[in-house]
Amino acid sequence: MTTTDRYPLDTPTGPAPLPGPEDRPRRRGLDVDRAVELGAAAVAAAVGVWAPFHLAGWDAPFGFVLCWFGAFMAIYGITVQQRHGPLVRRDRLATALIGAGTTVALLPLFLVLYFVVRQGLPVVLSRFPRFPFLRQDLRNFSPRDPVSKAGMSQAIVGSIEQVGLATAMTVPIGVLTAAYLNEVGGRFATGVRTVADAMTGLPSIIAGLFIYAAWVQPQHEQGFSGLAAAIALAVVMLPTVVRTAEEVLRLVSGHLREAALALGAPEWRVALRVVLPTARTGLVTAALLGVARAVGETAPVLLTAFGSPRLNLNPFRGTQDDLPMRIYLLVRSPSDSNNAAAWGGALLLLLVILTLFTLARILGSGGRRG
């Protein structure tokens, strides 16, 4: 018996063939035909749900949205089933569910941005193009004055200096600690990692109380300063930077380390010249997460910098303001002018955060290209 007789050529010996391109759903984006299907299903569901709600006199917007979405999914699924078949129906319904989930997740963010911009933009742009809100402080502002006399220059400078000092203190220590945990190890690595994990959930007010007891209280009123606030923010930032940087360094391929060691490089040079430059973009992300953790904190700054309506350019001496703390103090006031100034400060805080993130992304992209 020949090989051909034992294994006929026309008998399949491998796994079943995969569905061909004509059997698979085609994802070509939102073309006209698909847009018509979505729009028709949405309108039909809205009409079908509105009629019983209107006849029964129900006033339940959230219930109306839930019922509308359920009716939309049913009508859209039946329409796609009739026109394209069951495989495309499953694909389209899954895509609709994912889109709805993304919308629900992003809706609070867009609502926050919308309300902050709507309430804060008229305050920031008051007396345009002089921008007194950005150029003057609050030393001459009282609750009875119009909001055009308010200013946030002292809070902007304080936030930038305090977060900048905290970042300068935290990032080198955090990256070196992460390099020790990932590249060196040893008997102390487990303890350091445990402490970092425990500090990740540390309430920020505990860090503020610690710095207040260790730094501010021994010096009495002279202990309040932007530097004390920066140290408290550094305590808040450090565990986030350490844990994120460690995870980033773990993603560096071990082949790079082996190749550098095979060429005779010592371990410290491998970590300094190979591992850290390779993970540069991820380390920038770790620094960003640390800044995001600290830039909106109020309690540590309130206990250490104390706040001041006057502009203080020296973070090493005297009380200093910052945006989150000033927003907190203004929003607690019953004055409408103070509340409006708080909305303006909230918008400035958003702009500062977006600027920091944009600069960090630009630096990270430039480092990756280099």
At 206-247, the pLDDT tens digits run 999 999 999 999 998 889 999 999 999 999 999 999 999 999
Peptide bond into 86 cis (omega under 30): no
- Domains observed in the chain: 30-122 (no CATH), 147-369 (1.10.3720.10)
Query: What pLDDT score was predicted for residue 17?
Result: 54
What are the pLDDT digits (tens) for 191-202? 999 999 888 888
* Average confidence score pLDDT of the chain: 86
Query: What pLDDT score was predicted for residue 19?
Result: 52
CA 354 – CA 351 distance, rounded (Å): 5
Is it the case that residue 25 has pLDDT exceeding 60?
A: no
Q: Which two tokens stand for residue 256?
A: 């790079």
What are the pLDDT digits (tens) for 109-124? 899 889 999 999 999 9
What are the pLDDT digits (tens) for 319-331? 999 999 999 999 9
More confident residue, 23 or 212: 212
* Pick from 39-43, 185-189, 346-350: least confident: 185-189
Place of tokens 């939309």: 72
Question: Is-contact 260 275, C-beta < 8 A?
Answer: no
Helix/strand/coil for 368: helix
More confident residue, 140 or 74: 74
What are the pLDDT digits (tens) for 45-82? 999 999 988 888 888 888 899 999 999 999 999 999 99
Is it the case that residue 370 has pLDDT exceeding 80?
A: no
Is it the case that residue 367 has pLDDT exceeding 50?
A: no
Name the band, by pLDDT with cuts 50, 70 and 90, for residue 313.
Answer: very high
Backbone angles phi, psi at 203, to 5 degrees: -60, 140
Q: Output the CA–CA distances (angstroms, integers) from residue 200 to 191, 207, 214, 283, 357, in the order listed.
A: 14, 12, 21, 18, 21
